[in-house]
Amino acid sequence: MLAHHRKFVCLSLSRVDLPLQSTIETAATLYRKDAERFHVLLKKPTFPDRISGNAILTPKNSDGLLWLELSAHRVIMTMQGQGKLGYRHFWEKDRYGTSRYWLHGDTVDRNGSLQLKNFTHRLHLSSRGLPHRLHLEYQLYSGDLQLGEYILDLEIQL
């Protein structure tokens, strides 16, 4: 049986080469998969219908989960649920990984998905028995075209 803990988390994604940042602060469930692997499960964030300046006009409902699989060597992040958008990122230090996005519809269709590649420059997981900080730096590509440099930070309050 998996040991689990309810923790407060802050998940932040920022783009290095443009002034874009998104932060989620919420409660999450932390599962110990084994001595070196953990799962962090939180409710899928709410996305706005439209943004006017800094004001969110109409938030959409959020059904689903954001699931992170953490280890010192690799991170997998999956958004799944009832919404229209889903994604899965696979990052591994000093390697190319995949970032796949898909739209949910009435039928499962490969035409509704987009697959990009990423290259992870830095992946650092700090832990004291349980993980408390993840820092991930990567570049996103479509073919040979670089789509930006990103930093993903996860802080888990112990």
CATH assignment of the domain containing 128: 2.40.128.20
Structural domains counted in the chain: 1
**Residue 15 counted as domain residue:** yes
What does the alpha-carbon distance between residue 65 and residue 80 come to, in Å, rounded to a whole number?
6
The structure tokens listed for 115 are 């697959």
d(CA 83, CA 88): 14
Query: Is residue 56 in a domain?
Result: no
Q: Is residue 79 in a domain? A: yes
Assigned domain for 108 exists: yes
pLDDT digits (tens, 9 = 90+) for 2-48: 567 888 999 999 999 999 999 989 999 999 888 889 999 988 655 55
- Rounded to 5°, the CA angle 93-12-87 comes to 70
Structural domain of 112: 3-47+62-156
Domain assignment present for residue 150? The answer is yes
Task: Dump pLDDT digits (tens) for 95-130.
Answer: 999 999 988 765 555 567 899 999 999 999 998 888
Task: Evaluate whether residue 55 is within a structural domain.
Answer: no
In a domain, 52, yes or no: no
CA–CA gap between residue 21 and residue 15 (Å, rounded): 6
Residue 18 three-state SS: coil
**Among candidate residues 154, 148, 158, the one with its CA nearest the CA of residue 128:** 158
